Amino acid sequence: MNILITGAGRGIGKAITENLDGNIYVCGRNEERLKHFENYIVCDLTVYEDLEKLGSYIVQNNIDVLINNAGEYIYSPIEEVSIVQIEHIIKTNLEAPLYLIKKAVPYMKEKKWGRIINIGSISGVMGEAGASLYSASKSGLIGATKALALELAEYGITVNTINPGWVDTDMGNSSAAEGEFSKEEIIECIPQRRFVTPEEVAGMVKYLISDEAKGVTGQSINLCAGLTCGC
């Protein structure tokens, strides 16, 4: 397997790279965080030239497992967001994954096998007040996953989205700090009274790549410590 993980420098992306076997390829914006990987490419998913460069990298390395992990979060009332912020979130969280899938699919079709895993968010399932841009982009990813699963099923390609709840990462903790409630108050609303770990997300990715999960496609899997069930 030739596996590409976007946003691999830290958090969930880093945990995924450390839990998978195969030929690992990674990308991210911070070269210092990627240097210890043998195969890496530095790119900003919001810059079209960088995105095209990454698309070529996918083709050149015959990527047959694509993990769209990179994402951005903005917490703001809708009337205060700018057009630049809207474009940034949509480009990072929705446009870039779709473009990378487009580049990876031809080889997967030729091979009659492939795995596409999108890292979504509970915010795309439930909605999150103050994070409408993020919720909209992640919800779009879930819709694309269902459509692409149907489109690619006959080629042995599975497409799934994992929707983490609150995750114990820099992004998760900073998101909590930006919101109206403290981390302690957030935990009180999570049935298991804890944040999910990056390693739990990585374990789900590993399962979805495996042959045991070949019948799992088009799914939106909530990995949220029971958050979608209510308090």
The answer to whether residue 229 sits within a structural domain is no
134 catalytically annotated: yes
Counted domains in the chain = 1
Query: Which candidate in 57, 134, 155, 207 is catalytic?
Result: 134
Rounded average pLDDT per 10-residue block, the chain, 231 residues: 96 94 95 93 96 98 98 94 97 98 98 98 92 96 98 98 88 63 82 92 97 98 87 58
The answer to whether residue 120 sits within a structural domain is yes
78: domain CATH number is 3.40.50.720
For residue 70, the enclosing domain spans 2-224
pLDDT of res. 207: 98
pLDDT of res. 178: 63
pLDDT of res. 180: 65
CA-based diameter of the chain, in Å?
A: 50
User: What are the residues whose beta carbons fall under 8 Å from the beta carbon of 136, sequence distance 6 or more?
Assistant: 90, 124
Record the pTM: 0.93
Are 57 and 25 a contacting pair, CB within 8 Å?
A: yes
pLDDT of res. 173: 66
